[in-house]
Amino acid sequence: MVGRATTGLGAISRGPSYFPPVPPPPDTPPVDLLSGITPALEPDFRLDNLVALSRERALYRAWDRRLRRNVALRVHLIPDSPGRAWFARENETLAALDHPVLRHVYAAGEVGPFAYRTTNWVDGESLDGAMRRGPRPIPSVMSMVRDLLAALEHAHTHAIILRRIVPTTVILELSGRGVITDLRYANWCLAHVPSDDPAQATPFAAPEVRAGEPGDPSSDVYTVAAIVYYALTAKEPGLADIVAPRTLRPAIPAAVEQVLMRALRPVPKERYLTATEMLEDFVADAGTFHEPAVSPTTSEKGFERRLRRALGDDYEVLKEIGAGGFGRVYRVRDLGLEREVALKVLHPSLTADPGVMERFRREAQLAARLRHPNIVNIYDIQSRAGLQWYVMELVPGENLAQLVQRDGAFPVPRTMRLLFEALGALEHAHARGLVHRDIKPENMLLEPNGLLRITDFGLALALRGDRFGGASSRSGTPQFAAPEQLLGERVDQRADLYSLGAVAYFALLARPPFEGATPEAILAKQTTDALPSIRESRGDVPQDLEAALRKAVSSEPAERYQTAAAFREALDYATGGVLKKMLHMLRVS
Q: How many angstroms separate the Cα of 363 from the Cα of each of 154, 274, 368, 436, 462? A: 46, 47, 9, 10, 6
- CA-CA distance, 74 to 83, in Å (whole number)? 13
Under DSSP, the state recorded for 553 is: T
Helix (H) or strand (E) holding 40: helix 37-41
- CA-CA distance, 575 to 580, in Å (whole number)? 9
- CA-CA distance, 563 to 576, in Å (whole number)? 20
Helix (H, G, I), strand (E, B) or coil at 299: coil
Phi/psi region, residue 387 (left: phi>0; alpha: psi -120 to 50; beta: rest), is beta
Which domains, and CATH codes, for the chain? 9-120 (3.30.200.20), 125-286 (1.10.510.10), 312-392 (3.30.200.20), 398-588 (1.10.510.10)
Q: Count of residues for the chain?
A: 589
- CA-CA distance, 322 to 392, in Å (whole number)? 14
What is the pLDDT tens value at each position of the chain, 589 positions in all? 333 333 333 333 334 444 444 444 456 777 777 888 989 998 899 999 999 898 899 999 999 999 899 999 999 999 989 999 999 999 999 999 999 999 989 999 999 999 999 999 999 899 999 999 999 999 889 889 999 999 999 999 999 999 999 999 999 998 888 999 999 999 999 999 988 888 888 999 999 999 989 999 999 999 999 999 999 999 998 777 899 999 999 999 988 999 999 999 999 999 999 999 998 888 775 554 333 333 444 444 467 778 888 887 889 899 888 877 677 889 999 998 899 999 988 877 777 777 777 777 777 777 888 899 999 999 988 888 778 888 999 999 999 999 999 999 999 999 999 999 999 999 999 998 888 888 999 999 999 999 999 988 766 555 455 444 433 323 346 889 899 888 888 889 999 999 999 999 999 999 998 887 778 888 877 777 678 889 998 999 999 999 999 999 998 999 999 999 999 999 998 887 544 554 555 555 4
Q: How many CB atoms lie within 10 A of CB 585?
A: 10
CB 481 within 8 A of CB 449: no
User: CA gyration radius for the chain?
Assistant: 34
